[in-house]
Amino acid sequence: MVLSVGGISPGGGPSSGGTLVTVRGGGFDARTTVEFNGYLADRINVSDPWTIQCTTPPSRVEGCVDVIVATPRARAVLKQGFCYNCALIDGLSWSNNRGVINFSWQIFAPGSHIDVFRGGSPIATLPGDAVGFSAREASLGVFRYTFVVAPCGSRASTVVSLGRLRWDAPAEFAEGFLVYVGPDPRAFPDREHPPFNIGYRIEVPLGELQGAGMLPASGRWYFAVASYSYPFTSELSNRVSCDYSVVLGAAP
């Protein structure tokens, strides 16, 4: 697995260090180290190849610093991934109500203002202590919103997906489908009951998969479809019209 780092939560803390953080990415093993601005983290625990928990070291500087994840053979950098003594957004989330996207978050040490970007374009400036924002999307699609908190320039982003997972319905299994979701497609079973029986036939809104708890965290998720018939048998279908992956949720 290629070493990567995709996010860290919480995204900030005091310069005295001691903040327990969770680093998410891929390719982690027992020899993986984590550095904050060149200083090694304490109590590093690699719980699985995608998750590290560690404690931040003290920092001599205030502001956002790079987080470096390294193994003996590779290194990955999350630019300005953690912010010391900074105003920042934490726990960014969103919900969709008929095309109106409602964002909410917690604020750590309010800043002077918050700039909102859709893609690379600025769309709004909010007060430094704001804890929510709403925007309308007129069509289906995948949209990235970024919130930049002054004065340190710490940021939080989320990818809003208003798309649908679609597949072709094999005629011999027209009674229904099961949707299987997982962070690693190699872990998909070849022939067993997937953990969720959703009952969709041709498409499912991705927001409903998130609302059903099938997408519990941010990251890259892979989708497969298992067809079924009666009496109940299931098999992962190779007739999915688009083998699909999408990034959902908050990430620095």
pLDDT for residue 120: 87
Phi, psi of 192 (to 5 degrees): -165, 170
pLDDT for residue 243: 35
CA distances from 59 to 31, 42, 43, 120, 231 (A): 24, 13, 17, 31, 62
pLDDT for residue 217: 66
Q: Confidence band (pLDDT; 50, 70, 90) for 170? A: low
CA distances from 108 to 16, 81, 220 (A): 16, 15, 27
Peptide bond into 14 cis (omega under 30): no
Per-residue model confidence as pLDDT tens digits over 211-227: 677 776 666 677 776 66
Per-residue model confidence as pLDDT tens digits over 65-74: 999 999 999 9
Q: Is 12 exposed, middle or buried (0-12, 13-18, 19+ CB in 10 A)?
A: buried
pLDDT > 90? residue 157: no
Pure H helices in the chain: 206-211
pLDDT > 90? residue 127: yes
Average pLDDT of the segment spanning 218-240: 54
pLDDT for residue 189: 62
Which of 94 and 19 is assigned the larger pLDDT?
A: 19
Q: Domain ranges in the chain?
A: 4-84, 88-161, 164-251
Per-residue model confidence as pLDDT tens digits over 34-46: 999 999 999 999 9
pLDDT for residue 17: 94
pLDDT for residue 236: 44
Which of 247 and 226 is assigned the larger pLDDT?
A: 226
Computed from CA positions of residues 9, 24, 134, 152, in that sequence, does the dihedral angle turn out positive or negative? Answer: positive
Same fold, 4-84 and 88-161: yes
pLDDT > 70? residue 95: yes
C-alpha 188/C-alpha 196 separation (Å) is: 13
From 38-42, 97-101, 119-123, 177-181, the region with the lowest mean pLDDT:
177-181
Q: The domain 4-84 belongs to what CATH superfamily?
A: Immunoglobulins (2.60.40.10)
CATH top-level class for 88-161? mainly beta
pLDDT for residue 152: 83
Instruction: Provide the mean pLDDT of the chain.
Output: 78
pLDDT for residue 43: 94
pLDDT for residue 241: 31
